[in-house]
Chains A and B, each alone.
Chain A
Amino acid sequence: AQSVAQPEDQVNVAEGNPLTVKCTYSVSGNPYLFWYVQYPNRGLQFLLKYITGDNLVKGSYGFEAEFNKSQTSFHLKKPSALVSDSALYFCAVRGDTGRRALTFGSGTRLQVQP
């Protein structure tokens, strides 16, 4: 079985400061990892993914994520937060077994204060 843990329900950060949203995972085989963002009354939007290769993955809107195999983590980061980054963020994982279903974490609400 595969699982994702997002240990923080909410992260608060001041505008201009760096942000980190944490994610750890459990999966059989090699992981395929994704981050999504959800704004109010909207669907989830794809931000970035890790499949293989460099451990630091760059995505949309200046976000990046660091894959750490030994710690089974895939934390989302941004060097300088914007108020408009305030949203709900989901980490998701699937294994390389061929099953297409993603397992999503419970979500972390990011609040960026001006």
Chain B
Amino acid sequence: KQEVTQIPAALSVPEGENLVLNCSFTDSAIYNLQWFRQDPGKGLTSLLLIQSSQREQTSGRLNASLDKSSGRSTLYIAASQPGDSATYLCAVGRTSGSARQLTFGSGTQLTVLP
């Protein structure tokens, strides 16, 4: 059974700092990996989707990398801002175009201090 771990559970950084969030998974037979952002009292917003054949994806100040062989993904946030404060979750998918076999991590709660 796939297990997805995100460490640390919480992280505080000063504004402007570059930071890395970690996601590890136990079964490397994945189809894709997705990073989400969740604001308090809100649903999840998809940030980046990496297919298993890809090494990384970029969107603005965000860069997500994937290393299937080591069971790791990282989300790099450049020049962090207070508005980046949220919980970041990763989810690993085993099948194409379906969330049936999507396994979520518990998230890292990020606080960017002004």
Q: Do the two shown chains form a genuine complex with each other? A: no
Residues of A that sit less than 8 Å from B by CB:
none
Q: Using a CB–CB distance below 8 Å, which chain B residues touch chain A?
A: none
